[in-house]
């Protein structure tokens, strides 16, 4: 079975891996000259289905809870399973209750437990929530490692080309917002990357705020990704001053050391989303589309890849999975 995948973001590469593992002949074609710069490149990389459930539908939890295992199996050593810490400034402590009411899988933490988990935050917060089952990865490292691994498995990755000539049995569009369809809308996300050796965190920390909820994800080399805005808009222009100010002030509220950090990068990505903010795998003859991963690329791409691979290679269990995914 020859499969052509358009798009080397997280949707395209997870599908390529799923298909290659199952023995298909895979070619991935990407319009860009390299992986860097797509929406997946700007992602937080949190595998946090319980936290997401606070504002997303149950489907996100159902489909997302297997994501950490999938990434761990595909890229051993990339997944960090240290949970998610959710905090709120003392004045907004009520936000923790509100957040907790909307989801499950929570452990309530007091000041000493927060200090034990994240010594750098000792004395700064009196209450928090801990989602012990959650995980995270570095999206950039994961995308690069996945593409290297795919090449090793014999898959072809072609950058900067349309590859209209490629002969395939099935074609899968994983181009995200570039697949300009009327049902699909863009939700702009802005983020920034800070560097400081004055503070270290072991896990993603979400800081609740009634208006500006943010997360800070630690990465290697003293880097911290701070994200992300959600704006109903599909322009990918530079980050706005207001968004940068809000992200920075939230990071500063988490710990003043971020005030002295170097601002090494700002990034903007456009998340592809359907009206229900849930992803879809759709088939039209020899063409398949995976899209609408919204803010859940790394979390939901594995489930979508499995579903599409079942559709392509005919797994008998495919129907149940597809039904479940489409509710």
Give residues in contact with another protein (CB under 8 A).
55-57, 98, 101-102, 182, 184-186, 188, 210-211, 231-235, 273-278
**Smallest separation (angstroms) from another protein to the CB of 189:** 12
**Smallest separation (angstroms) from another protein to the CB of 212:** 11
Q: Is the Cβ of residue 165 or residue 180 nearer to another protein in the bound state? A: 180
Q: Is the Cβ of residue 132 or residue 231 nearer to another protein in the bound state? A: 231
How far is it, in rounded angstroms, from Cα 153 to Cα 78?
19
Handedness of CA 275, 278, 279, 283 (dihedral sign): negative
**Smallest separation (angstroms) from another protein to the CB of 233:** 3
> How far from 44 is each of 1, 138, 159, 228, CA to CA, in Å?
34, 8, 24, 8
Q: Is the Cβ of residue 171 or residue 190 nearer to another protein in the bound state? A: 190
Q: Is the Cβ of residue 185 or residue 306 nearer to another protein in the bound state? A: 185
Q: Is the Cβ of residue 112 or residue 235 nearer to another protein in the bound state? A: 235
Q: Is the Cβ of residue 159 or residue 274 nearer to another protein in the bound state? A: 274
**Smallest separation (angstroms) from another protein to the CB of 181:** 10
DSSP track, 128-177: EEEETT-EE--HHHHHHHHHHHHHHTT-EEEES---TT---SEEEE--GG
**Smallest separation (angstroms) from another protein to the CB of 142:** 26
**Smallest separation (angstroms) from another protein to the CB of 120:** 27
Count of other CB atoms within 10 angstroms of residue 75: 18
Strand-strand pairing, 185-195 and 25-30: unpaired
Q: Which of 257, 204, 247, 252 is nearest to 227 (CA)?
A: 247
How far is it, in rounded angstroms, from Cα 26 to Cα 284?
19
């Amino acid at each position: 079975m020859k499969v052509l995948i358009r798009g080397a973001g997280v949707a395209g590469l997870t599908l390529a891996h799923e298909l290659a593992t199952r023995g298909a002949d895979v070619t991935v074609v990407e319009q860009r000259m390299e992986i860097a710069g797509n929406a997946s490149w700007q992602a937080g990389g949190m595998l946090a289905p319980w936290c997401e459930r606070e504002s997303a539908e149950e489907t996100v939890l159902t489909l997302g809870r297997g994501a950490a295992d999938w990434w761990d199996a595909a890229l051993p050593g990339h997944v960090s399973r240290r949970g998610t810490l959710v905090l709120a400034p003392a004045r907004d402590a009520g936000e923790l209750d509100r957040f907790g009411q909307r989801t499950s899988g929570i452990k309530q933490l007091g000041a000493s437990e927060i200090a034990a988990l994240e010594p750098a935050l000792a004395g700064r917060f009196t209450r928090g929530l801990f989602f012990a089952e959650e995980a995270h990865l570095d999206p950039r490292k994961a995308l690069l490692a996945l593409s290297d691994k795919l090449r090793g498995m014999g898959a072809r990755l072609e950058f900067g080309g349309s590859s209209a000539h490629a002969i395939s049995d099935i074609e899968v569009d994983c181009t995200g917002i570039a697949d300009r369809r009327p049902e699909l809308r863009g939700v702009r996300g802005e983020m920034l990357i800070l560097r400081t050796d004055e503070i270290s965190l072991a896990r993603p920390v979400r800081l609740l705020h009634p208006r500006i909820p943010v997360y800070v994800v630690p990465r290697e080399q003293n880097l911290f990704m701070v994200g992300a805005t959600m704006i109903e808009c599909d322009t990918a222009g530079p980050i706005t001053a207001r968004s940068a100010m809000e992200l920075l002030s939230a990071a500063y509220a988490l710990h003043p050391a971020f005030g002295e950090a170097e601002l090494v990068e700002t990034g903007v990505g456009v998340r592809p989303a359907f009206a229900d903010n849930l992803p879809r795998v759709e088939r039209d003859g020899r063409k398949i589309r995976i899209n609408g991963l919204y803010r859940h690329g790394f979390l939901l791409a594995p489930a979508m890849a499995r579903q599409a691979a079942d559709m392509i290679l005919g797994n008998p269990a495919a129907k149940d999975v597809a039904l479940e995914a489409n509710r």
